Amino acid sequence: MMSSINDLLELLENAEELDQLATARHLYEMILVKDEADENYAATLMYVANLVDLGDLNHAEATLARIEEEIPEDLSAAFLSQRGDLQSHRGNYAEAEKDYREANKIDSNEGEYLVFAAQAAFQQGQVARAEYLIREAIAIGGEALDEAYGNLAGYLVAQKRYQEAKVCYEKVVSLDSDNDHAREWIEDLNRVLKLQV
């Protein structure tokens, strides 16, 4: 049986790629109980993400509480993001938004945390704030730019700003030519815009 941390991490990576959540959880637990992994905070945060995905929110919260005082500075944004995910899954969107915004203050390189903050604001019915946050994320750029434009389009649709939403979906398609969801929205918005004339 493979028992070294590196072997377990490789198995874990494979399980995550295949979306095998139960296997991933078991592997995380094997990694975290090994003496040499006592301070493997990155693995602990991945474990928390897995617990949240599985709906084991109480265990996720307890795990975060256990490491909160010890989390290294370079993982503090990731910690806040995981706590935001937990809050979001619990329906505590105001707390989730706060955690994501704090994470962005620590690490604003990708704008990803602002994308999450905008989603939490939108879940609270704060569409204008969601739009503001997602525009900040777009200004930062990063790998999640197509997702950010797609979210902005959704927030604009919610405000009945259809022409602007269509432009955003067109931007999504320019960033990801295989995005059929955005293409369908463009077609739908074209119909709505024709009806408005």
CA–CA distance from 54 to each of 24, 26, 29, 31, 97 (Å)? 11, 12, 14, 18, 22
CA gap 122, 127 in Å, rounded: 5
**Predicted pLDDT at 31:** 67
**Predicted pLDDT at 35:** 43
Mean pLDDT by 10 residues, the chain (197 residues): 61 72 71 56 84 87 89 93 96 97 91 95 96 95 89 96 96 94 95 87
Residue pLDDT, tens place only, 22-47: 777 677 766 665 544 446 788 788 88
Q: Is this structure's pTM higher than 0.75? A: yes
**Predicted pLDDT at 37:** 42
**Predicted pLDDT at 196:** 81
**Predicted pLDDT at 32:** 65
CA–CA distance from 10 to each of 25, 78, 124, 163 (Å)? 14, 21, 39, 47
At 159, give phi and psi (nearest 5°).
-100, 5
Residue among 73, 132, 146, 129 at smallest CA distance from 103: 73
